[in-house]
Structure 1
């Protein structure tokens, strides 16, 4: 086992922790929030996505830093934000059927929070308007624009008609436009910037068309973590990075221009040693996101140069380059390649302060439903 003296991630009381376990490092989360703010001239440009951490305590750190606008993807995440008294919450999802009823419940049960959602077609907008009108309120809506992700959203050249249609509905208050460009993730910042600006150009034309028609200036919510440095330079755009709060191996390697720090790890132990070259860790599919290829799921920080040979529900089998002196029960620290789905595998995270496990934070919005 390699020497971990002075390693930022080392836990002095790791024997308190059963594994596999997700752990957060709040001092690093705070640094990441400060780094995020350093990219913009006005904190009002920030609308961070909470889908990575799904945690009330992390949200409160952002609120304490003056961030008042948030983005989320699920009703549970929206409710978590309401429970934290976040002033402005965009559900970046188009609700259908029961989800619309649940959103209405949040609007009435968390009146201190202004909720919004997305619409990308006439039928959904009409349904949302009818629901809001029936319950006696006006729903805040952003028209969702497809800028190349080809997942949701209406194409920019068809969006003005939808914008007009939504604006005429009695139950809807059109706030602006939402444009997510998750398909843009080139490592080189210059190339990424060029792609981002090209994809966003039709949205800028749409903005001009909306204003020329006499509508008030739309609020623009755009981008994710990869294109955050591009939109951060546009004062009229609200930026929505999410991964920045916890960071991970994948984005750290792909985007060297983004100086965020890893702030969440998965701690694991050796549970079996078939031979001098082979170790079995308690870090299966249920402990670490497994959507990437086998050797691109996690980096073991204190045991480098591993080759992964097998991954199943409860086990990760690895080989070392040569004979190793690792013992059964030894502790290793894993940096996830993709932290977002990894975090969603856990109902709580241990909290590390000054090298000590001190408490735990619930990943409360991991559940599909909290109260409503």
Structure 2
């Protein structure tokens, strides 16, 4: 790798495509930048849904971060295997997942787990199994602050808190609010919307504290709103995409200076027409939930125009007399890195300090061993 074309791999001839590459030095720079954006790094609770890996988790822990957030039991298991001290399953366990959550606590005693709840019936189900397992489950009330995906509406939070406080086997820790619906590129608009949520959360916290003399911990936000919560509150903050970054966030949130640290490596496999080239970057290699033009941006070929994509192929318009040959390597930034990482069992990790390594994406599936 050289400084101008940081993404280029020295031994690319021996690396299979399509593939995903993590750049460890850039991940470390992103971690350092994150810590520098908040006065007290103990307020950081990064979400691991983006990288899903032991190695990145250990980089975060080596930087002094102790609290983590995850979305699946498999991610929670990965964090337990790293002996992460404090892990929030930011998902309400239901059905068999309640048993799996209990198993986590038994298998990884060095990790303190908590989970979300947003209704009394689920709270009772968790409580029942907690009593059967002779344990106590730490819970956060999940609040619907406008995304309309999960959580209880703010006006119903206090009643749910009162009900939960009377249930044996549960320990109320605080409030959780995810604002994934707020992704305006205009910083001032984003800030205004976040400030409205901050006011709601402060009011709810004060109600609980005044009546029960218990100040709840508040966990709020993701990457787009992280700077607002970091500066204006004492809430715990849960950015995730910062670790790897992607072209979508790079374009939308230019006030955040994280570095792209995950790159797709693909090869041209065919030249089907005079203007067209075909690569091996199909649906199975890059997240395809966005429209075709917003799935990948090629760092060493920014003028290529996607024409079609199938499971194993991506066809691009390269223009007349383009000069590309079968076997040429392209490097692309995914528009959405989180679901792209989930497509890979393993990635290549590179660093100026060492030879390339293979890192397992151990929690890409919903089930590992639990």
- Normalising by structure 1, we get a TM-score of 0.97
Partner of 1:24 in structure 2? 22
Please, which of 67, 70, 75 is the counterpart of residue 68 of structure 2? 70
Alignment match, 1:92:
90
> Which residue number corresponds to residue 118 of structure 2?
120
Please point out which of 162, 168, 171 is paired with 2:169.
Answer: 171
CA distance in 1, matches of 2:162, 2:131: 18
Partner of 1:134: 132
Q: Which structure 2 residues correspond to residues 303-314 of structure 1 after superposition, within 5 A?
A: 303-314=301-312
Residue 350 of structure 1 corresponds to 348
| Deviant stretches of 4+, over 3 Å | none
Mapped to 2, the partners of 1:168 and 1:120 lie a distance apart of 16
**Is residue 338 from structure 1 mapped to residue 336 from structure 2 by the alignment?**
yes
CA contact (8 A) 1:13 1:357 kept: no
Q: CA deviation at 1:22?
A: 0.7
d(CA) in 1 for partners of 2:4, 2:32: 24
Partner residue of 2:214? Answer: 216
Q: Is the 8 Å Cα contact of residues 50 and 71 (structure 1) preserved in structure 2?
A: yes
Question: How far is 1:357 from its partner?
Answer: 5.8
Number of residue-to-residue matches in the alignment: 369
Change (3 A) 1:267 1:357: farther
Per the TM alignment, residue 189 of structure 1 is displaced from its structure 2 partner at its CA by 1.2
Residue aligning to 1:255? 253
* Aligned pair partner of 2:57 in 51, 56, 59: 59
Query: Does 2:152 correspond to 1:154?
Result: yes
The residue that corresponds to 1:363 in the other structure is: 361
Query: Offset of 1:192 from its aligned partner?
Result: 0.5
Equivalence for 1:143:
141
Q: Distance in 2 between matches of 1:162 and 1:81?
A: 29
2:289 aligned to 282, 291, 294, which one?
291
Q: Say whether the 8 Å CA contact 1:90–1:115 is kept in structure 2.
A: yes
CA 288–357 in structure 1, closer or farther in 2 if over 3 Å, else same = farther
Q: Tell me by how many angstroms 1:215 deviates.
A: 3.5
What is the CA–CA distance in structure 2 between the aligned matches of 1:42 and 1:199, rounded to whole Å?
21
Cα distance, 1:355 vs structure 2: 9.6
Cα deviation for residue 155 of structure 1 reads 0.6
Tell me which residue corresponds to 1:9: 7
What per-residue deviation string (whole Å, max 9, x for no partner) do you get for residues 75-115 of structure 1? Answer: 00000000000000000000001100000000011000000
Q: Distance in 2 between matches of 1:26 and 1:5?
A: 15
* Secondary structure, counterpart of 1:233 in structure 2: helix
User: SS of the residue aligned with 2:325?
Assistant: coil
Q: Does 1:239 align with 2:233?
A: no
Q: Distance in 2 between matches of 1:172 and 1:273?
A: 62
Cα RMSD after superposing both structures: 1.3
Counterpart residue number, 1:320: 318
Change (3 A) 1:254 1:357: farther
Tell me how far apart the structure 2 counterparts of residues 15 and 204 of structure 1 sit (CA, whole Å): 56
Aligned equivalents of 1:230, 1:32: Cα separation in 2: 18
The alpha-carbon deviation at position 203 of structure 1 amounts to: 1.7
For 1:317 and 1:271, locate their aligned partners in 2 and report how far apart those are by CA, in whole Å.
10
Shift in Å, 1:356: 7.8
Secondary structure of the 2:32 match is helix
Structure 1, unaligned runs of 5 or more: none
1:133-181 deviation digits (Å, cap 9, x = unpaired):
1110000000000000100000111100101111111110000000000
**Could you tell me how far apart the structure 2 residues matched to 1:348 and 1:5 are?**
26
More moved, 295-304 vs 197-206: 197-206
